[in-house]
Structure 1
């Protein structure tokens, strides 16, 4: 895509998704961090069901540590990989208490030093909690970057770096959630809803872009 097409791409996404926000439930930066850590290889819905039980009893690092490993596991056992996630969460809480006064740090370096927090999780927290223009490349954004031609790359980092250059500055803050939500509900992996896509004419993904009878092939 050229610069004009990229600008139009995000203009249409923002028009279709006027409030691009995470679908994880949280009420503090700490809750967001924990929810994102728990969401690895799990759905937001499953995480929200678990945190609806967890956060009312432990929504600070100190309270999470007081809950203990067995107590934490009991609350998140419905989430995949909950054994390792519980260990990471408690280790992270310990560091937050000992090194950050119980607060979530606002730098990439400090976030990525936390157990169970990689670049993707750090980017989500930096973007959603601290308003930094970062893009966390999950499976949806990786797919969109390659499928649409917006930012093709062989690795999540390659796609992220290309997106940081390709996304128009005015949409950089919202690009992360715009692309996730578009990938989750329209540009799915197996059966994308191309006939409902607002950027179909800008997308380079051709095999499935023939609209069913009665649907327009491109947005007005």
Structure 2
């Protein structure tokens, strides 16, 4: 895909949704971090249902530590892998208090040192909480990047690096949100909704569906 076509794609996505953001509910960088940890192999809707009950009770590292692992599980038990996630969140809260004065760090190395935080989670926090032009590649973005040929790659890291290289700088801050939303609602896994896609004529997917 050439540079002009990529630019037009992001021009259209921006025109359609000028201020995209995550669908996770949060009011602080810490709430976002916890929500993203919980979102692994879970839906944003499911995570929001849990955190809408959890955060009014405990939305700081100290408050969640005070809940304890068993207390935390009561709030998140509707989410997949809640046992391991509760363990990781408790450990993360302890590290935040001991090493970061209870604050969420804004450096990748420090974020990835937290239990339950991998590269994708770190990228979401860096981008959404701290405004850094990084690219968190999930299954939706991986699919959209390969289907459209915006940034084809065989691995998540390869797609991430290509997106950082090829997405025009003015769109980098919001590109993650545009692509994930496009994959979630239009370029869906089983049968993409090509007939209602605003970038269909620019997309290089060879098996487009009929409206």
Instruction: Report the TM-score range of the alignment, normalised by the length of the smaller protein.
Output: over 0.9
Is the CA contact 1:37–1:121 (under 8 Å) kept in the aligned structure 2? Answer: yes
Taking structure 1 as the reference length, what is the TM-score of the superposition? 0.95
Report how far residue 19 of structure 1 moved: 2.0
Report how far residue 209 of structure 1 moved: 4.1
Structure 1 residue 139 and structure 2 residue 139: aligned? yes
Alignment of 1:27-38 (within 5 A): 27-38=27-38
Report how far residue 204 of structure 1 moved: 1.2
Is the CA contact 2:73–2:82 (under 8 Å) kept in the aligned structure 1? Answer: yes
What CA distance in whole angstroms lies between the structure 2 residues aligned with 1:181 and 1:86?
28
Map Cα deviations across residues 127-180 of structure 1 (whole Å, 9 max, x no partner): 000000011000000001111101111110000000000101110000000000
Taking structure 2 as the reference length, what is the TM-score of the superposition? 0.98
What CA distance in whole angstroms lies between the structure 2 residues aligned with 1:191 and 1:13?
20
Is the CA contact 1:200–1:209 (under 8 Å) kept in the aligned structure 2? Answer: no
Map Cα deviations across residues 49-95 of structure 1 (whole Å, 9 max, x no partner): 00011001110000000000110000000000000000000000000
Report how far residue 18 of structure 1 moved: 2.0
Instruction: Show structure 2 runs of 5+ residues with no match.
Output: none
Instruction: Show structure 1 runs of 5+ residues with no match.
Output: 213-220
Map Cα deviations across residues 165-200 of structure 1 (whole Å, 9 max, x no partner): 010111000000000011111110112110011111
Match of 1:44 in 2: 44
Map Cα deviations across residues 16-71 of structure 1 (whole Å, 9 max, x no partner): 12221000000000000000000000000000000011001110000000000110
What CA distance in whole angstroms lies between the structure 1 residues aligned with 2:188 and 2:18?
20
Structure 1 residue 18 and structure 2 residue 18: aligned? yes
Alignment RMSD, CA only?
A: 0.7
Report how far residue 206 of structure 1 moved: 2.2
What CA distance in whole angstroms lies between the structure 2 residues aligned with 1:174 and 1:53?
29
Structure 1 residue 156 and structure 2 residue 156: aligned? yes
Match of 2:100 in 1: 100
Report how far residue 202 of structure 1 moved: 1.1
Deviating runs (4+, > 2 A) in structure 1? none
What CA distance in whole angstroms lies between the structure 2 residues aligned with 1:3 and 1:205?
17
Match of 2:8 in 1: 8
Alignment of 1:1-220 (within 5 A): 1-210=1-210, 212=211
> How many residues were matched structurally?
211
What CA distance in whole angstroms lies between the structure 2 residues aligned with 1:82 and 1:137?
23
What CA distance in whole angstroms lies between the structure 2 residues aligned with 1:119 and 1:65?
24
What CA distance in whole angstroms lies between the structure 2 residues aligned with 1:153 and 1:198?
23
